[in-house]
Amino acid sequence: MMPRRSRRSSGARPRPLPLAPGMTVALAAPAGSFPSDRTEKIRRLFEEKGFRVVIGRHVTGRDRYLAGSDADRAVDLIRALTDPSVDAVFAIRGGYGSSRLLPRLPFGSFPEKPKIFCGYSDITFLHAALGALTGWITFHGPNAIEFADDPIVFEETLAYLSGSRPLEWHLSDEQILQEGKASGIVAGGNLTCFSHLMGTPYAPSLEGALLLLEDKAEPTYRVDRMLMHLKAAGVFHRIGGIIGGTFTDCGDPDEIRMLLREYSAPRSIPVVLGLPFGHGARNHVLPLGARFTLDTSKGTLTCAEVPWASR
Q: Could you list the active site residues?
A: 121, 214, 279
AA identity, residue 90: F
Bridge partners for 294 per DSSP: 182, 301
Residue 152 — φ and ψ, nearest 5°? Answer: -65, -40
- Nearest by Cα to 279 from 177, 173, 161, 153: 153
Bridge partners for 27 per DSSP: 55, 90
DSSP string, 207-230: TT-EEEEEEES--HHHHHHHHHHH
Bridge partners for 156 per DSSP: none
- Nearest by Cα to 114 from 290, 262, 247, 260: 290
AA identity, residue 64: R
Bridge partners for 248 per DSSP: 216
Spatial distance between the Cα atoms of 88 and 25, rounded to a whole number of angstroms: 5
Backbone CA torsion sign across 80, 32, 1, 207: positive
